[in-house]
Structure 1
Amino acid sequence: MKESFNLDALLRDNIKKLVPYSSARDEFKGEASVLLDANENAFGSPYSKNYNRYPDPLQHHLKEKLYQIKGIPAEHTFLGNGSDEAIDILFRAFCEPGRDNVILVPPTYGMYEVSANINNVAYKKVNLTASYQLDLDGIAAAIDAYTKLIFICSPNNPTGNSINRHDIETILVNFDGIVVIDEAYINFSKQPSFAQALHEFPNMVVLQTLSKAWGLAALRLGMAFASKEIITVFNKIKPPYNINQATQEIVLEALSGIEQVNGWIKNIVVERDELSALLAELPQVEHVTPSDANFILVKLQEPRSLYNYLVGRGIIVRDRSKVELCEGCLRFTIGTPDENALIYQSVCEFYNNID
């Protein structure tokens, strides 16, 4: 458990002074029959359902439903237009452009670096070890007085493995800045979520998403879990109506399908392990990284040629062969049983053709 943490010392001065936009729905509480405060079209929408009214800016009903599933109260929850919105807000809240820096641990999710560049924030790369774990000594050496954020993806993308929990806790306890733990793939892992330990680490932000296990990628809904104080900062910075009404309604209905989602997760894990075992038996496959995600990273011979061969057959995978520590690797998302069978068959055919 972290003994002391000064959030105010990390915030940018302009964010401390920021007076957030106060929307009509923020100012009004309760029920009303006549709404003439927000310059909406009172006649309705040219659609079978009316979307002429602005949505709930803080998504109260949605957060209450998520609380029933995850056990995390609404005041500890931020909902964003994908996890990318939460990532961007972290930079805008805590990193002074041209002065502060963040630490990334490649190979990792590429949006951290993109967001740093967009916000003109320097980043220091401390590569994972050969076994795709944190280099604690390297991270400690990289931290300076202007390091505000450390991003850790676990299970990691693109490698698929979980990061050692004790190592993450070591950073949480010893780093005075914000530690961001991206758990986009946590549903496929046996590891417990760090979101259940918010009370222990006031400097922690946990990112999750409904794009993967929940199958709602097109709706773009991401979640950030953190202390009440950090969530207050997020809500201060976000656009007033960042989650549209249609998304809120569809997600609220979809969250009732937890049994179906749990069934999908079990099937994906079984398919993942079966495809991993099949590919590992091929002589041209050098290594399949054990995965806690819904994808596998496979090191194999002629990766670029295989990639092009698959594209030619209308099969799109991710070429990671030029990423540091992922040399020679392709990343395969786990699909349906038929899709996974087609991947395996296609890989075998490719190698048979070049032998």
Structure 2
Amino acid sequence: MNRLERLVRENIRALKPYSSARDEFSGSEGIFLDANENPFGTLNRYPDPYQKALKEKLSQLKDIPSKNIFIGNGSDEIIDLVFRIFCEPGTDKVITFPPTYGMYEVSAGINNVEVIRVKLTPDFQIDFEAFFQQMEQNKNIKIVFVCSPNNPTGNSIYNIEKLLEYNTIVVVDEAYIDFSERASLIEKLPEYPNLIVSQTFSKAFGLAAARVGVAYANESIVALLNKVKPPYNVSALNQKAALEMLENYSLVQDRIRLILNEKEQLINQLSELDEVIKIYPSDANFLLVEFKNANEIYENLVNHNIIVRNRNSSIKNCIRITVGSAEENSQLINTLKNYKL
């Protein structure tokens, strides 16, 4: 048994996965009388359980073999599956770096797994001394979650490779990587069998409603994810939507450029406002902005039907603002300019 296999829960190693009708026959032509489907309609057939066409397109785009790709019902399903595969409830632990994406902690709670929080430094980077200390003190840490570019701070996290030197699973959440100039850690997969890189179609591809997440990982980890997932976890409609965006990737790139241009204009306009104290560096499609009084600003914007995210509870007087269309951003700025007038 290798180091990676030792991290897997014993019951998952022994699990015999459900075999669906489409596992036993994978062709596309024929008279299908095997899955108790309704013979009428256009959505009457079960979808491809392994999303082969979608993986082939992603393989070409990312220059990574299909065997290293897993498709999930959003990235949140991937997070939950990783807990189920590697963490023994009530025994194992995970590390997160707050302030960060809240679903790591929610999934930990659902799976009865203790969370060790190693707070980011004031400039929102990993405190490696504190991390190393926790790794030495706790022998049951199975997973380390790091979000880069980080949500809600927007910045990229540096030196993630240091986390991979331990015998734990490291999940790098790259939901916003398409907006960043930094390279994806996908290129590090051949070096680190314990690395899982998650991405999504929700942000740059504009398919938040479709719920399509992607994990890039060692072939053994992908096999485990396929073993534990529900048989038909991504609908045919959602697979088709993702494929259409991949086939029109130039449109995705154009929209990314538009969003990034709008972000620069938004930074310039926000920096001129008296109520704004600081705009944090961002490699994502949003900005973390410190105001003199975040709660009052937030309520004022809501009263004008402009909905942002108040992060004051975790980062003092900070609001997270998604970059919208030119018209939406203009309304935001005008409302902020007229604040208290």
TM-score range, shorter chain: over 0.9
Q: Does 1:346 align with 2:307?
A: no
CA-atom RMSD in angstroms: 1.2
Secondary structure class of the residue paired with 2:289: strand
Of 160, 163, 168, which residue of structure 1 is paired with 2:157? 163
Q: Structure 1: which 5+ residue stretches go unaligned?
A: none
Alignment of 1:1-355 (within 5 A): 6-42=3-39, 44-45=40-41, 50-143=42-135, 144-164=138-158, 167-173=159-165, 175-323=166-314, 326-350=315-339, 352-353=340-341
Tell me by how many angstroms 1:122 deviates. Answer: 0.3
Tell me by how many angstroms 1:142 deviates. Answer: 1.3
Secondary structure class of the residue paired with 1:149: strand
Shifted more, 247-256 versus 85-94: the winner is 247-256
Identity %: 49
Letter in 2 for 1:103: I
d(CA) in 2 for partners of 1:33, 1:328: 61
Tell me by how many angstroms 1:277 deviates. Answer: 2.1
d(CA) in 1 for partners of 2:233, 2:32: 21
Letter in 2 for 1:152: V
Secondary structure class of the residue paired with 1:141: helix
d(CA) in 2 for partners of 1:139, 1:331: 27
Question: For 1:199-253, what per-residue CA distance to the aligned partner results, in whole angstroms no more than 9, with x for missing partners?
Answer: 0111100010000000011000000000000000000000000011111122212
**Normalising by structure 1, what TM-score?**
0.93
d(CA) in 2 for partners of 1:209, 1:196: 17
Contact kept? 2:245, 2:252, Cα under 8 Å: no
d(CA) in 2 for partners of 1:293, 1:254: 20
Tell me by how many angstroms 1:123 deviates. Answer: 0.3
Shifted more, 269-278 versus 229-238: the winner is 269-278
Tell me by how many angstroms 1:269 deviates. Answer: 1.0
Contact kept? 2:70, 2:216, Cα under 8 Å: yes
d(CA) in 2 for partners of 1:160, 1:275: 15
Secondary structure class of the residue paired with 2:11: helix
Shifted more, 279-288 versus 180-189: the winner is 279-288
Tell me by how many angstroms 1:32 deviates. Answer: 4.2
Tell me by how many angstroms 1:31 deviates. Answer: 4.8
Q: Structure 2: which 5+ residue stretches go unaligned?
A: none
Question: For 1:35-69, what per-residue CA distance to the aligned partner results, in whole angstroms no more than 9, with x for missing partners?
Answer: 11111112x12xxxx11111111010111011121
**Normalising by structure 2, what TM-score?**
0.97
d(CA) in 1 for partners of 2:181, 2:273: 28
Tell me by how many angstroms 1:113 deviates. Answer: 0.3
d(CA) in 2 for partners of 1:30, 1:178: 35
Secondary structure class of the residue paired with 2:333: helix
d(CA) in 2 for partners of 1:335, 1:34: 48
Tell me by how many angstroms 1:34 deviates. Answer: 1.4
Letter in 1 for 2:325: T
